[in-house]
Amino acid sequence: MKRVLLFIATNLAILILLGIVSTLLEGYLASQGIEFERLGLLVFAGVFGMGGSFISLAISKWMALRSTGAQVIESPSNDAERWLVETVRQHANAAGIGMPQVAVFPSDSPNAFATGARRDAALVAVSTGLLQGMNKDEISAVLGHEVSHIANGDMVTLTLIQGVLNTFVLFFSRIIGEFIDRAIFRNQDGRGMGYFAATIFAQVVLGALASIVVMWFSRQREFRADAGGASLAGRQGMVDALQRLGSLSARTEPLPQQMAALGISGGRRGLGQLWASHPPLEERIRRLQTGTSH
């Protein structure tokens, strides 16, 4: 689940930054007599919205390595590393994708993630806690799950969804900003300080609401990745891996908040599930056991 939250957090930060830049640019253009009609504003928002999302995707691998301290296995130095690389290679071949980079990151929490802008140039990383707490069949299933994310093109799919949502966040935040500036601050041209303050505030609020939609799609992709892991490493192996994740996670420190949605384990219940990138482990296990993971 780690890959998703880092992508979302990076995207939101870039969206806010681009939102500020685009608002200032829009103000400058307005001072020069260049005004955007609604269609032009939508195109303007689309350029910045989709651009921010694809920037997030482009730097996703670099951000994941930097934030987790993961070390890429350039040349396996022991039997464990050789087995890890070879297992990823077998899954990648079976899934029809290029060989990903393989990395290990220091963390007591059992976790793993896959990220990258392209299917044939991705990254699969596992934590030291996962390697120490699981047997080879369970680790193989986790690796199959992550390889399935790559094969399914999940990062690109989420990028496109996020880009479309970014576009509407930027567009409607400007509509809201102009309305507030005219209705409350009585600026007839709708371009006073109230407009800029209301626009930035609306971007933050709408961006948070848009993340609910992205997280819903993420949860559906997790079910597909579970099914993919079961196909690559065996259904029982995938079930055992999720069950082991549940028991190990209860005894270890959670990942940092900014990383919590990039890994394989996780899931919340109640209202908090709206912003959860993963379904509860119990639901994932149930779907695997009943054959309804797709």
Q: Are 74 and 123 in contact (CB under 8 A)?
A: no
At residue 12, φ and ψ (nearest 5 deg) are -65, -40
Taking each helix axis from N to C terminus, what angle separates 2-31 and 38-58, rounded to the nearest 10 degrees?
A: 140
- Mean pLDDT, rounded, for 153-180: 88
* Largest interatomic CA distance in the chain: 72
- Mean pLDDT, rounded, for 225-251: 91
Query: Per mean pLDDT, which of 50-59, 124-133, 248-257 is the most reliable?
Result: 124-133
Tokens found for residue 255: 């990942």
At residue 63, φ and ψ (nearest 5 deg) are -65, -40
At residue 276, φ and ψ (nearest 5 deg) are -90, 135
Using CB atoms within 10 Å of the CB of residue 99, give its burial: 0 to 12 exposed, 13 to 18 middle, 19+ buried.
middle
Query: pLDDT for 67-116, tens place per residue?
Result: 899 999 999 999 999 999 999 999 999 999 999 999 999 998 899 999 99
114 vs 122: CA distance, rounded Å: 7
Q: Are 192 and 259 in contact (CB under 8 A)?
A: no
- What per-residue confidence (pLDDT) applies to 260? 47
- What per-residue confidence (pLDDT) applies to 120? 95
100 vs 102: CA distance, rounded Å: 6
| Residue 146 is among the residues annotated as catalytic for this protein | yes
197 vs 206: CA distance, rounded Å: 14
Query: pLDDT for 126-157, tens place per residue?
Result: 999 999 999 999 999 999 999 999 999 998 89
Which residues have CB under 8 Å from 206's CB, separation 6+? 168, 169, 172, 173
178 vs 192: CA distance, rounded Å: 9
Q: Which position among 26, 146, 178, 222 bears the catalytic label?
A: 146
